[in-house]
Amino acid sequence: MNRIELTKEMTEELERLSESEYVSLARLEKRIMYKERQRLYQLRALEKRGRELAAAGCTRQNMEARLTELEAEWAEAGAE
């Protein structure tokens, strides 16, 4: 396989670009967009799961009651 060798000019440009404020700004934007996209995917998945739970007859009150029961069990187990 032929290996591409960087010229001195290419190396200097790589160094200059990696230190550029504009490159840093664009990278930050890219990170923000990635995080927002991930948040969107998570919210979509949660909505889908919520719809499935509702279709199965679960309500917020049922879930809160179950959580209260579990927290009481955990507190009991921790006290022992």
The three-state (H, E, C) secondary structure of 19-57, written as one string: CCHHHHHHHHHHHHHHHHHHHHHHHHHHHHHHHHHHHCC
Q: For residue 3, is it within any domain?
A: no
Q: For residue 2, is it within any domain?
A: no
Domains held by the chain: number? 1
Q: What is the pLDDT of residues 39-80, one digit of tens each?
A: 999 999 999 999 999 999 999 999 999 999 999 999 998 876
Q: For residue 1, is it within any domain?
A: no
Q: By the 8 A CB rule, do 36 and 43 touch? A: no
Q: For residue 16, is it within any domain?
A: yes
Q: Which domain holds residue 52?
A: 8-79
pLDDT the model gives residue 71: 96
Mean pLDDT of 32-39: 98
Q: For residue 64, is it within any domain?
A: yes
pLDDT the model gives residue 78: 81
57-72 in b/e form (b: 16+ CB < 10 A) is: eeeeeeeeeeeeeeee
pLDDT the model gives residue 1: 56
